Structure 1
Amino acid sequence: MRKSIVAALAAGMSLTLAACGGGTATTTPAPGGADTTAAAPADAGTLTVWVDETRIDAFTELGADFQATSGVSLDLVQKPTGDIKTDFIAQAPTGEGPDLIVTAHDATGDLVSNGVVAPVELGNAIDGLSDASKAAFTWDGQLYGVPYAIENIGLVRNNALVQDTPATFDELVTQGKGAGTQFPIVIQQGDGGDAYHLYPLQTSFGAPVFTSSNGEYTTELGMEGPEGQAFATYLRKLADEGALNANIGGDQAKQAFLDGQSPYIVTGPWWTSDFVDAGLDITVLPIPSAGGQPSAPFLGVQGVYLSSHSENALLANQFLDYMTSEDAQTKLYELGGRTPANTAAAEAIDDPIIAGFAEAGADGEPMPAIPEMAAVWNFWGATEVSIINGQAADPAAAWQEMNNNIKAAF
């Protein structure tokens, strides 16, 4: 998409290094027949980086670019997604862990509390990162990682079925009912529920999962009281109108949208390529408000953490500085298809689908990284399913019981 720009920047960096000397000189023809001498950087060392199976190809390419300009190579070790955090916590203190790990921001609380990651100092480069991405990696006022990509859910519309999306969720459901499809909208749930995909509707009632103070989550639940209970009552209303069905899990929701059984689906960028490949004309939009306040989805932020036990902190910080750059984050966007945390790179995106998700996440907040979040998920999803299925005779009472159970589990 912007590969020519990236290549030009990389070339410019190489020429700058040549002026500084070091390495082996090579001669390349310049415009007009002149010769230009460029120096390849000398071997400056190696950093060990743990990365999962979904990102290793992108970081392999990024590592080659970084080595070409710095002389520092990346020894990339592929680890299963679910093992990176736990293995790192176990191995870092022994000296057997990596210098850096690539993972999602919601590991921050556990990593900091176990003392295995170090704060990062980015100087003026921090100003180039979005506020939400920085908040995701901030703990007790300190930044503990370099964010590089943001993802969130949004409203995906099949333009062959409807063309103009209403301003409120109730109007959307009414429109969807008149579209002549089986479902007015599909939002995945399943046996255990899926609070993640319902969260934008919940926040539109003013009921965030936790309250916030000074830009960071507290351990006080924000979904108690009349706001949360109003959302619980609304869930039952949506089920009665056929807009929510606990039997529709992720695969079923995706297939229903592919088959033209619904004009809308609430989902993330992980499925849109399948929709496009199937020939669907789609538009990504913010999720309309149901409760009168903005619909704020969870933001998932990917980033790189520095081990507090690394013996290569200077080299590691050199890579972290590189990770903040528009060049690096543009390349990762091109390889991974997620909105960059670097604001200049994000603003330059010309893919309307990715830009649509960025707009849908404009009011979003990072998923809580505090350890208390682990106690929330099971109660949360199970309660929502009981309301959708009609098993909870009084949605508001069931919601309050859920909050009481969550607090008891802290």
Structure 2
Amino acid sequence: MKVTKRGLWAVGALTVTASLVLTGCTAASDTTDSAAGNGGSLTVWVDADRASVLKDAAADFTAETGVEVKLVQKEFGDIRDQFVAQVPTGKGPDIVIGAHDWLGTFVTNGVVAPVELGDKADDFQAVGVTAMSYEGQVYGVPYSIENIALVRNTALAPSTPATFDEMVTMGEAAGTEYPFLVGLDPEAADPYHLYPFQTSFGAPVFGTDADGSYDAEALEIGNAGGDEFAAWLAEQGAAGVLNTNITGDLAKEKFVAGEAPFYLTGPWNVPAAVEAGIDVAIDPIPSAGGEDAQPFVGVQGFFVSAKSENALAANEFIVNYMGSEEVQTALFEVGGRAPALTASFEAASADPIVAGFGTVGENAVPMPSIPAMGAVWEFWGVTEAAIINGGDPTSLWQKMSGDIQTAIAG
């Protein structure tokens, strides 16, 4: 893969011998040769799924700039905590792959540096840049955008429902075991999947500042719309439409078996349905409360260490190489996540499934990355499960809101 470098960059003294190292060392040993130590290289932490793409891009970068790039494979789930722990010691990487909702932890711990996108900011989907921003400052280059949508079995439901109630009516008319499926958990429900219904009642988790940033002091989850949503959860639980015994695995199994016309899920579960011979359509999530049903969007991208001694090279690599159409398209091909770069996304959208999720994603909102979100997760899901399973919706929801507020303040 040849990556065409965009923009001009003076390499100056960065004239080390080009080489590429792909290794799977442990956290204790894989940082000793980081860029902070030799001044002429970049160390990049990447997960195994994306390592092959970065290997090619890194080779092109080295050939064009003379800057050595060392790729260190990490388990994706381990990256955030190890990065936060190692950067202050000067032994962490220069660049790290990660999720946008890690950003609050990264910024408050002082481990990431701002990224200069320049004119290239307009080349990305706006929600991707917004997700990679914190308090108005961009800290990362997005490469993928992912969200849930309503997956419809067209043989069982030939048209798109306009509302949640219409969807259930259509589902019941289909004569299948379930009118609608969404994977939940007996004890923690699934706030991520239920959030679009919550927003349709006008009850986002947090309000936003003038620049669009989430405001931890503007907790809106307990507003009047939140109470209405809680009452709706109770109604759906009593009717059996929402069932905490239908786990994620079971929901997927039943939909793939043709036992429901509608399934609320993400693109990761669609291939199994297609392989089973189901003709699927990707629809907007129907509103339950009258307002837009806005799911969370998850964005993945690349961040630069605040301790990198090659910050200029690191910025160049993630903006003009990881942000190139060739790389963004290649990352989509290996991971299946819709590209954040508009040109790559438009090409990928020739696939109607990608296009369908992308259309829903245009109305999605970034999952809050502020540290206060941790307090929300602690109480949110267990409260939803308790309500669906027969608990009093008003008292449980208001107690949850109070507990969240106390945890944030404390």
- Per the normalisation by structure 1, the TM-score is 0.87
Indicate the residue corresponding to 1:332 in structure 2.
331
> Quick check: 2:143–2:339 contact (8 Å CA) kept in 1?
yes
> Quick check: 1:296–1:365 contact (8 Å CA) kept in 2?
yes
- Matched residues in 2 for 1:79 and 1:321: separation? 22
Indicate the residue corresponding to 2:79 in structure 1.
84
- Matched residues in 2 for 1:363 and 1:268: separation? 15
- Matched residues in 2 for 1:125 and 1:210: separation? 29
Deviations 1:53-77 (A, max 9, x none): 4433443344345445555453211
1:358 counterpart = 2:354: no
**What is the aligned counterpart of 1:217 among 183, 205, 214?**
214
- Matched residues in 2 for 1:89 and 1:298: separation? 25
**What is the aligned counterpart of 2:198 among 195, 199, 202?**
202
Indicate the residue corresponding to 1:276 in structure 2.
274
How many positions carry a matched residue from both structures?
A: 376
Instruction: Give the letter for the 1:98 counterpart.
Output: P
Instruction: Give the letter for the 2:375 counterpart.
Output: A
- Matched residues in 2 for 1:167 and 1:58: separation? 40
Indicate the residue corresponding to 1:3 in structure 2.
none
The residue correspondences of 1:168-187 to structure 2 (distance < 5 A) are 168-187=163-182
Indicate the residue corresponding to 2:380 in structure 1.
380
Q: Secondary structure at the match of 2:267?
A: coil
- Matched residues in 2 for 1:199 and 1:12: separation? 40
The residue correspondences of 1:188-267 to structure 2 (distance < 5 A) are 188-191=183-186, 192-214=188-210, 215-219=212-216, 220-267=218-265
For residue 284 of structure 1, report the CA deviation from its aligned partner.
1.2
Instruction: Give the letter for the 2:207 counterpart.
Output: T
Q: Secondary structure at the match of 1:108?
A: helix
For residue 274 of structure 1, report the CA deviation from its aligned partner.
1.8
For residue 379 of structure 1, report the CA deviation from its aligned partner.
1.1
Q: Secondary structure at the match of 1:238?
A: helix
Measured at CA, do residues 272 and 62 of structure 1 come closer, stay the same or move farther in structure 2, by a change above 3 Å? farther
RMSD value over aligned CA atoms? 2.2
Instruction: Give the letter for the 1:287 counterpart.
Output: I
Indicate the residue corresponding to 2:389 in structure 1.
389
315-324 or 287-296, which moves further after superposition? Answer: 315-324
Measured at CA, do residues 276 and 61 of structure 1 come closer, stay the same or move farther in structure 2, by a change above 3 Å? farther
**What is the aligned counterpart of 1:104 among 85, 99, 121?**
99
> Quick check: 2:200–2:294 contact (8 Å CA) kept in 1?
yes
> Quick check: 2:98–2:301 contact (8 Å CA) kept in 1?
yes
- Matched residues in 2 for 1:337 and 1:400: separation? 39
For residue 113 of structure 1, report the CA deviation from its aligned partner.
0.9
For residue 305 of structure 1, report the CA deviation from its aligned partner.
0.4
- Matched residues in 1 for 2:180 and 2:77: separation? 32
> Quick check: 1:150–1:300 contact (8 Å CA) kept in 2?
yes
For residue 13 of structure 1, report the CA deviation from its aligned partner.
6.6
Percent identical among aligned pairs is: 51
Measured at CA, do residues 73 and 250 of structure 1 come closer, stay the same or move farther in structure 2, by a change above 3 Å? farther
1:49 counterpart = 2:44: yes
- Matched residues in 2 for 1:67 and 1:11: separation? 11
1:311 counterpart = 2:286: no
> Quick check: 2:95–2:305 contact (8 Å CA) kept in 1?
yes
Instruction: Give the letter for the 2:144 counterpart.
Output: A
Q: Name which one, 1 or 2, has greater alpha-carbon Rg.
A: 1
List gaps (5 residues or longer) in structure 2: 9-15, 20-39
Q: Secondary structure at the match of 2:112?
A: coil
